[in-house]
Structure 1
Amino acid sequence: MRTKVYFVRHAESIYMEGAERSRGISGQGKADARRVCEILIQEAIDCVMSSPYERAVQTVQELAAERGQEILLLEDMRERRIGDFPDGKFTEAKQRVFGDFRFSYPNGESSCTAQKRAVDVLLAILKDYRGQGIVIGTHGDIMTLMMNYFDDSYGFDFWKSTTMPDIYRLEFDEAALLTVTRMWS
């Protein structure tokens, strides 16, 4: 019995210092969230879950509303905190934490730590929702780290190639990843 997990990376969000949890999606993000709904409304979705961060919730909110479903918030699916890295070096900082899974910047979270907390939740979902279709509103780093757990070809280059929003359908047999299909274009 296959379980389908639809990772929905959040739509465009305007960065605001100190508003990591509360910043929502932009006007373009709202239009893209509508398109996310149009793409996924045809799928057999049994439940909608999300990181508690507003931008992730808003990206899957219309889909949940169309399906008459509540969004289950998953605290441990929150985005990884990158920490305090040198000014203007965001991409280099991301490359470093993906390149060395044990490294973390001050006040940040290593890839290893972030991956473990999110994968523990994902493995529980695969067990508890076996054979169902699950949408998870998520973020670029944490999505990549979860996918990397099952296939180490998902790393920095994959993260860099993703868009806001983005949709990936992962099919599992128990906890074995069978296929990954990008649904956003």
Structure 2
Amino acid sequence: MEKTIYIVRHCSAEGQAPHAELTAEGILQAAQLAEYFDGIEVDRIITSPFSRARQTGWPLAERKNLHVEVDSRLGERVLSSTEFKDWLIKLEDTFLDLHLKYDGGESSREAMTRVCDVLDELEEGSQTVLVTHGNLMALLLRCYDERFGFEQWQALTNPDVYMLRIKDEDSEVKRVWDSK
């Protein structure tokens, strides 16, 4: 048996705060994302508790007649409780050293563990859509493809979709979203 997981980065949003909502463009993107999944079997939709992730998942849930499940483990990773002017360099450093942890933040390894726990709990044969955030998405993909790093995170779009197939000890990661 295998699991198929579609990992979705939320659509364009007004900001990074947990309560930041989708922009007008993001609302249109969420509708396009829902259309993208026409013809693809989906039995669960699980989102981050952040508003922009839930709003990204709602049109798909409505179209598939599914309930949106919210899981706090899909919330974006906190780099630090301190605002860094050089946050991009600090973030890159956490991709190079997975155990690096800043004050009030979470290491890459800690974030990877919590998000991979969500996947481990999915039933065999499931076809699940997870809606999350860029940094956590990159770390989740890195769990299954160690080549996924800072540069790949930078290349993610809003929205973005990767398909992850897990069968026994084997896995396949593939970008399936065309952002054009």
TM-score bin, normalised by smaller chain? over 0.9
1:30-69 to structure 2, matched below 5 A, reads 30-69=27-66
Aligned to 1:23: 20
The answer to whether 1:14 aligns with 2:11 is no
Aligned residues between the structures: 178
3-state DSSP of counterpart to 1:21: coil
Q: Is the 8 A contact 2:145 2:173 kept in 1?
A: no
Deviation (angstroms), 1:85? 4.3
- Give the match for residue 158 of structure 1: 152
Report matched runs for 1:120-135 at 5 Å: 120-125=117-122, 128=123, 130-135=124-129
Find runs of 4+ consecutive structure 1 residues off by over 6 angstroms.
none
CA contact (8 A) 2:165 2:171 kept: yes
CA 157–31 in structure 1, closer or farther in 2 if over 3 Å, else same: same
**Matched-pair identity in %:** 27
Structure-2 separation of matches of 1:22 and 1:86? 21
Q: Structure 2 CA distance, aligned partners of 1:144 and 1:137? A: 13
Q: For the structure 1 residues 160 and 30, does the alpha-carbon distance in structure 2 shift closer, same or farther, using more than 3 Å as the test?
A: same
TM-score by length of 1: 0.90
Q: Which residue in the other structure is 2:114 paired with?
A: 117
TM-score, normalised to structure 2, is 0.92
Aligned partner of 2:18: which letter? R
Name the aligned partner's letter for residue 84 of structure 2. P
CA positional deviation for 1:147: 1.1
Amino acid at match of 1:60: G
CA distance 1:177–1:49, shift in 2 (3 Å): same
Q: Within 2, Cα distance between the matches of 1:28 and 1:110?
A: 32
CA distance in 2, matches of 1:22, 1:179: 30
- Using the TM superposition, give the Cα deviation of residue 136 of structure 1 relative to its aligned residue in structure 2, in angstroms: 0.6
Task: List gaps (5 residues or longer) in structure 1.
Answer: none
SS at match of 1:109: coil
CA distance in structure 1 between the aligned counterparts of 2:128 and 2:79, rounded to whole angstroms? 27
What secondary structure sits across from 2:121 in the alignment?
A: helix
Find the residue that maps to 2:6 and give its secondary structure: strand
The CA RMSD measured in Å over matched residues stands at 1.5
Assess if the C-alpha contact under 8 Å between 2:48 and 2:70 holds in 1.
yes
Provide the C-alpha distance between the structure 2 equivalents of 1:60 and 1:175, rounded to a whole number of angstroms.
29
The runs of 5 or more residues in structure 2 that have no matched partner are none
1:169–1:183 contact (8 Å) kept in structure 2: no
Distance 1:167 1:90 in 2: 25
In 1: Cα distance, 2:44 partner to 2:38 partner = 12
Which of 60, 67, 71 is equivalent to 1:70?
67
